[in-house]
């Protein structure tokens, strides 16, 4: 059954924030959404938490609002009554989880050990919060958890930042990275919606690692394509790789044997996570040409074009190869 944490996984980041006063709630979530994150976990760490959840649920129905630092059943019920769509607790409390499951609330309990994971999965939970991730063993612990608990996905939190997003999202069992990093407290207090949007946007960029993977050049015919590929290969010290329907000059340039897609050619945008990136560009209003998408032999998505050209160029997303760590 679909679960609200599937949405968090689609975004790749969960903003986990304290709101000092209810007046800051709407400017904050507007900034997050503008930066690409229409979701927030409001921590029960200030007196304004419950009112902030209610305010966001009422005034910004497009935002998926949840409650964090939920440590009692009373908080869970109050948050859901105020309009929360999910609950997050820092640790694993079987009574709290049982209550939430019975009530049909989406709960993300915190775990840090295999014992807690084992107890949590008994409740049929697919998503757990790994907190605090760095002291709990970081990416190495996550790799080890995925052996005995292959179906479990983790939202990783505790001291995360834009600089750790890529490292954690590259671990297959990680659904999302959470934390306070998408909105610095000073910007929350200043109701700096645009500032928050910019910080959020930079964090979101880390989720995808977008970069130019190659340029596609069109040709009149096969002979011209071969000549172009050989010229480029010679200049840049690359190998000519014959393909169908093109010649590659290394991985830099794809020379089409005729008029390929795009009046002026095409631009391939590499990303570390093409499935999540495809959903992201669709949310941004870009229609994708799924009928002509290409897949690897294992069925995973390799490449999908934007349906419409931009400034005469066709664009497609391309899975991997990953951006080198030094470029991140
Ligand atoms: C949490 O409960 O998830 C953390 O306290 C988030 O805060 P941090 O990103 O500042 O560690």
Q: What percent of the chain has pLDDT over 70?
A: 97
pLDDT attached to residue 324: 36
Percent with pLDDT over 90 in the chain: 95
| Three-state DSSP string of 307-328 | CCCECCEEEEEEECCCCCHHHC
Residue 7 above 70 pLDDT? yes
The answer on pLDDT for 326 being more than 70 is no
Per-residue pLDDT band for 328 (boundaries 50, 70, 90) equals very low
List the residue whose alpha carbon is closest to atom 3 of ligand 1. 157
Q: Is the pLDDT of residue 133 over 50?
A: yes
Residue 215: band (very low, low, confident or very high) from pLDDT cuts 50, 70, 90: very high
Q: To the nearest 10°, report the CA torsion of 319, 311, 199, 187.
A: -160
The secondary element (H helix, E strand) that includes residue 254 is strand 253-256
The residue-averaged pLDDT of 38-65 equals: 98
Ligand 1 atom with minimal separation from the 131 CA: 3
Ligand 1 mutation target, pool 43, 88, 185, 200, most atoms within 8 A of CB: 43
Pocket flag, ligand 1, residue 138 (CB < 6 Å): no
Does residue 16's CB lie within 6 angstroms of at least one atom of ligand 1? Answer: yes
Work out the average pLDDT over 283-290: 95
pLDDT-derived band at 321 (thresholds 50, 70, 90) equals low
Q: Is 129 a catalytic residue?
A: yes
Q: How far is CA 228 from CA 68, 131, 208, 217, 261, in A?
A: 57, 53, 31, 9, 17
Q: Does residue 227 carry a catalytic annotation?
A: no
Q: Give mean pLDDT, residues 86-96.
A: 98
Q: What is the structure's pLDDT at 3? A: 85
92: CA distance to ligand 1 center in Å?
16
Higher-pLDDT residue of 324, 259? 259
Question: How many of the other CB atoms lie within 10 Å of CB of 220?
Answer: 10
Per-residue pLDDT, 325: 38
Interhelix angle 73-81/94-103, nearest 10 degrees: 30
Please tell me the predicted confidence (pLDDT) of residue 244: 87
Say what angle helices 274-283 and 4-11 make with each other, to 10 degrees: 100
pLDDT band for position 323 (50/70/90)? very low
**Per-residue pLDDT at 327 exceeds 50:** no
Q: What is the pTM of this model?
A: 0.89
Active-site position among 30, 85, 129, 153: 129
Closest Cα to residue 204, out of 6, 4, 10?
Answer: 10
pLDDT of 19-38, one tens digit each?
999 999 999 999 999 999 99
pLDDT value of residue 320: 78
């Amino acid at each position: 059954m679909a679960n609200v944490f599937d949405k968090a996984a689609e975004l790749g980041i969960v903003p986990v924030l304290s709101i000092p006063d209810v007046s800051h709630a709407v400017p904050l979530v507007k900034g997050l959404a503008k930066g690409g994150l229409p979701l927030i976990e409001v921590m029960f760490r200030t007196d304004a938490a419950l009112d902030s959840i209610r305010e966001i649920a009422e005034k910004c129905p497009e935002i998926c609002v949840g409650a964090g630092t939920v440590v009692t059943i009373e908080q869970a019920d109050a948050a859901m009554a105020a309009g929360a769509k999910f609950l997050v607790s820092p640790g694993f409390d079987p009574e709290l989880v049982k209550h939430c499951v019975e009530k049909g609330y989406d709960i993300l309990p915190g775990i840090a050990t295999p014992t807690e994971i084992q107890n949590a999965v008994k409740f049929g939970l697919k998503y757990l919060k790994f907190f605090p991730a760095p002291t709990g063993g970081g990416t190495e612990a996550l790799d080890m958890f995925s052996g005995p608990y292959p179906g479990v996905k983790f939202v990783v939190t505790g001291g995360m930042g834009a600089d750790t997003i890529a490292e954690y999202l590259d671990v297959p069992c990680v659904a999302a990275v959470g934390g306070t990093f998408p909105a610095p407290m000073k910007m929350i207090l200043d109701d700096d919606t645009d500032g928050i949007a910019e910080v959020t946007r930079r964090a979101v960029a880390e989720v995808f690692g977008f970069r130019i993977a190659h340029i596609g050049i069109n040709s009149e015919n096969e002979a011209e394509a071969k000549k172009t590929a050989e010229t480029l290969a010679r200049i840049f010290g690359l190998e000519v790789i014959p393909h169908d329907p093109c010649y590659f000059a290394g991985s830099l340039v794809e020379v089409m044997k005729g008029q390929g897609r795009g009046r002026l050619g095409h631009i391939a945008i590499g990303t570390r996570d093409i499935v999540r990136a495809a959903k992201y560009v669709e949310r941004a209003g870009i229609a994708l040409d799924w009928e002509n998408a290409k897949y690897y032999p294992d069925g995973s998505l390799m490449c999908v074009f934007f349906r419409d050209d931009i400034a005469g160029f066709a664009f497609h997303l391309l899975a991997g190869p990953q951006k080198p760590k030094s470029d991140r």
